[in-house]
């Protein structure tokens, strides 16, 4: 994952649960933040995509939990895009805390036309911006 | 609060935090559920209000935390409406766990026309349905 | 899934996002509620398991999103347990809205001794209570 | 608020709701982040306070909603401490989006000994670190 996008996220108190660690469902938020910041790092934004009438609901999420994160941990994320960017896009993300891999995931999203809710191709400006993160 | 609306809510694991109790911000969700179920108990729904083009954003929330709730607690809510229902509505809610008052709140919401985002009067069917819970 | 556990969950406003539907990460909460209510339906509770010193962190979550749920929808959940209950347990859950399957998932959890954080077998009372939901 | 602590927070998709704006209850998370970053800016951390056996549950939260924030907005927070830091601490926070004040709040927290859950004075290192933000 040499060409991975890297981003750090601080664990908030709200994201922990009574086991004293991050609630398993809250990793979806971190993965969303990483996707948003990957686009922003290339000068675009997901908000801009919505303004252009394209939504990106999630089709599939597979998470393997290999360790835990606790309050105030600084989570280091590394994310790449698997395969090509077409009518869907698949992110593979690793989350690391104190040099330990705690979370591996794949999330596939689809590009939808907002008005008709039909699949569309990813806008070309976004393909161009993100292809540096693709791994075939 | 003789005419209070009563509703029970079970604490979910996700709602707890690393202190082992419900996160302070998550009480806003319970208050929302109580408001929604109060309307539903009278045969209407907030979803129906939205379909009629009326939104209800919150103007003000005051919460006093008098105790805690932990995972799996059954929270008993008692809610009334303070004053009249006009362009705004104010709910007063008490949350009780094992006969102990743990949370007191006032939440004021405004009725907004969805298209122009301007204040409107509460739809009359909703006023009629809810006035039994009003305390002057 | 003839022997599935069935439970209904109402979508809260807080669980929706700006696409007007339930946020993809929030399905993890519903799956947790279904697991908790399955145990409660058999006269036990996850809180009781924690009191006995056993925690159940999640090892793996795979979700396929086949449709959407919106505010106030009543989600009908059907859940079974895949295989045997040993040091881990795997739930398969289907979520249905208005007769349409919107969400399929598998979630595997591990039983951990709270003090040493080491894997342990599921307490026998819980195995006995849940085995009626097992599909081999 | 010349001596206010300032911190920027990006709105996540998860924090929005079906009205297309930040859910009213989620502001509590932002206020928590601002409190945590204020301490961190002075070289300490809330995690450190917990390690020293002091918890900080919330006693009271008063929020006035004056505007909205939408997905991807950069919220500028300004926070001060009202009065002295004793057995409780009260933060006053303003949240600004695009030069508009959208949210004003007061949150009072209490310092509790973790083992006995009794009120204690704020640890002196924290008083010393935070008193620059106090407004009498």
pLDDT tens, residue by residue, B3-43: 999 999 999 999 999 999 999 999 999 999 999 999 999 99
Residue C121: the pLDDT is: 97
Q: How is residue A123 annotated by DSSP?
A: P
Q: What is the percent of chain C with per-residue pLDDT over 70, rounded to a whole number?
A: 100
Contact A50 D71 (CB under 8 A): yes
Contact B29 D24 (CB under 8 A): no
Q: How many residues does chain B have?
A: 136
Q: How is residue A3 annotated by DSSP?
A: T
Chain B residues whose C-beta is within 8 A of a chain D C-beta are 19, 21, 23-29, 32, 55, 57-65, 68
With cut-offs at 50, 70 and 90, classify the pLDDT of residue B2: confident
CA–CA min distance A113, chain C (Å):
12
Point out the catalytic residue in the list B17, B72, B99, B113.
Answer: B17
With cut-offs at 50, 70 and 90, classify the pLDDT of residue C113: very high
Chain A residue numbers with beta carbons less than 8 Å from the beta carbon of B18 are 13, 16-18, 20-21, 70-71
Chain D residue numbers with beta carbons less than 8 Å from the beta carbon of B23 are 28
Chain B residue numbers with beta carbons less than 8 Å from the beta carbon of D62 are 60-63
Chain A residue numbers with beta carbons less than 8 Å from the beta carbon of C28 are 23-25, 28
Give me the mean pLDDT over the A85-89 stretch: 97
Residue D1 has pLDDT above 80, yes or no: no
Residue D83: the pLDDT is: 96
Residue D136: the pLDDT is: 84
Point out the catalytic residue in the list A17, A72, A73, A113.
Answer: A17
Chain B contact partners (≥3 CB pairs within 8 A): A, C, D
Token pair, residue B15, equals 């709602």
Q: What is the pLDDT of residues D79-114, one digit of tens each?
A: 999 999 999 999 999 999 999 999 999 999 999 999
CA–CA min distance A94, chain B (Å):
23
Residue A2: the pLDDT is: 83
Q: Which of C28, C6, C131 is nearest to C75 (CA)?
A: C6
Contact D12 A36 (CB under 8 A): yes
Give me the mean pLDDT over the D32-49 stretch: 97
Residue C72 has pLDDT above 90, yes or no: yes
Q: Considering chain C, what is the average pLDDT of its residues? A: 97
Task: Give the C-alpha separation, C34 to C40, whole Å.
Answer: 10
Find, in chain B, the residue whose alpha carbon is nearest to that of D28. B25
Chain A residue numbers with beta carbons less than 8 Å from the beta carbon of C23 are 28
Q: Considering chain A, what is the average pLDDT of its residues? A: 97
Chain D residue numbers with beta carbons less than 8 Å from the beta carbon of B26 are 25
Give me the mean pLDDT over the D11-27 stretch: 98
Residue D57 has pLDDT above 80, yes or no: yes
Task: Give the C-alpha separation, D26 to D47, whole Å.
Answer: 21
pTM of the full predicted structure? 0.97
Give me the mean pLDDT over the D13-41 stretch: 98
Chain B residue numbers with beta carbons less than 8 Å from the beta carbon of D55 are 19
Residue C39: the pLDDT is: 98
With cut-offs at 50, 70 and 90, classify the pLDDT of residue A136: confident
Q: Which of B89, B99, B110 is nearest to B38 (CA)?
A: B89
Phi/psi for B110 (5° steps) reads: -115, 145
Q: Which of B123, B135, B99 is nearest to B50 (CA)?
A: B123
What residues contact residue C52 under an 8 Å CB cut-off, 6+ apart? Answer: C123
Residue D73: the pLDDT is: 98
With cut-offs at 50, 70 and 90, classify the pLDDT of residue D2: confident
Nearest to B72 among C12, C46, C71 (CB): C46
CA–CA min distance C45, chain B (Å):
8
Query: Domains in chain A, start-ordered, CATH in brackets?
Result: 5-135 (3.10.129.10)
Contact D25 B21 (CB under 8 A): no
Nearest to D63 among B19, B55, B61 (CB): B61
Residue B92: the pLDDT is: 98
Find, in chain A, the residue whose alpha carbon is nearest to that of B72. A18
Residue D12 has pLDDT above 80, yes or no: yes
**ipTM of the complex model:** 0.96
| CA distance readout (Å), B39 to A14, B42, C28, C69, C85 | 29, 5, 27, 21, 42
Chain D contact partners (≥3 CB pairs within 8 A): A, B, C
CB C37 within 8 A of CB C47: no
B99 among known catalytic residues: no
Find, in chain B, the residue whose alpha carbon is nearest to that of A15. B17
Point out the catalytic residue in the list C17, C72, C99, C113.
Answer: C17
Contact D36 A29 (CB under 8 A): no
| C74-82/C134-135 β-pairing | parallel
| CA distance readout (Å), C102 to A29, C32, C74, C78 | 20, 17, 12, 12
Q: Which of C28, C110, C114 best tests the A interface by mutation, with the highest count of A CBs <10 A?
A: C28
With cut-offs at 50, 70 and 90, classify the pLDDT of residue C3: very high
Residue B19: the pLDDT is: 96
CB A16 within 8 A of CB A23: yes
């Amino acid at each position: 994952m040499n060409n991975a996008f890297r981003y750090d996220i601080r664990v908030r108190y709200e994201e922990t649960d009574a086991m004293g660690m991050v609630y398993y469902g809250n990793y979806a938020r971190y993965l969303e933040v990483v996707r948003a910041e990957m686009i922003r790092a290339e000068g675009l934004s997901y908000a801009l995509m919505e303004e252009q009438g394209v939504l990106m609901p999630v089709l599939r999420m597979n998470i393997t939990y290999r360790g835990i994160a606790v309050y105030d941990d600084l989570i280091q994320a590394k994310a790449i895009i698997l395969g090509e960017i077409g009518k869907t896009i698949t992110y593979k993300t690793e989350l690391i805390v104190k040099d330990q891999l705690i979370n591996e995931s794949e999330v596939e999203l689809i590009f939808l036309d907002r008005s008709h809710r039909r699949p569309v191709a990813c806008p070309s400006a976004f393909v161009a911006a993100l292809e540096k993160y693709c791994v075939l």
